[in-house]
Amino acid sequence: MKAFNAAHVNWVLSQIPLNLTVTNSLTLQSGYPRTTVSSVTLTGGANAVETRGVLINGTPAAWVAWQGPGRRATFRCLLGSTVF
């Protein structure tokens, strides 16, 4: 029983995201993501234990820790360079 409980605790803890991840469908040009439209959709996650909010270009993104990774945020790109 103790071994089962220990294994279950380890499995539950492994389900909690602890890393920052960001993905997009932009093509790379000279090693940088590039788009020709004014908005882009980002998908990702952050440390669910320590993250209280996510900013994209200084603007708060929709972030709810218990909903976990895979949240999508669409934002307007600045003219010129937008750094992710």
What pTM was computed for the model?
0.56
Copy the structure tokens of residue 50: 């320590």
Indicate the number of domains in the chain: 1
Full DSSP string of 54-81: -EETTEEPP--GGG-S-EEEEEEPPSS-
46 in a structural domain: yes
49 in a structural domain: yes
2 in a structural domain: no
57 in a structural domain: yes
The model's pLDDT over 38-60, given as tens digits with 9 standing for 90+, comes to: 778 777 778 878 888 888 778 78
Give, in order, the Cα–Cα distances in Å from 23 to each of 18, 77, 83: 16, 15, 13
Copy the structure tokens of residue 35: 């788009």
- CA 57/CA 84 separation, integer angstroms: 8
60 in a structural domain: yes
Average pLDDT for the chain: 77
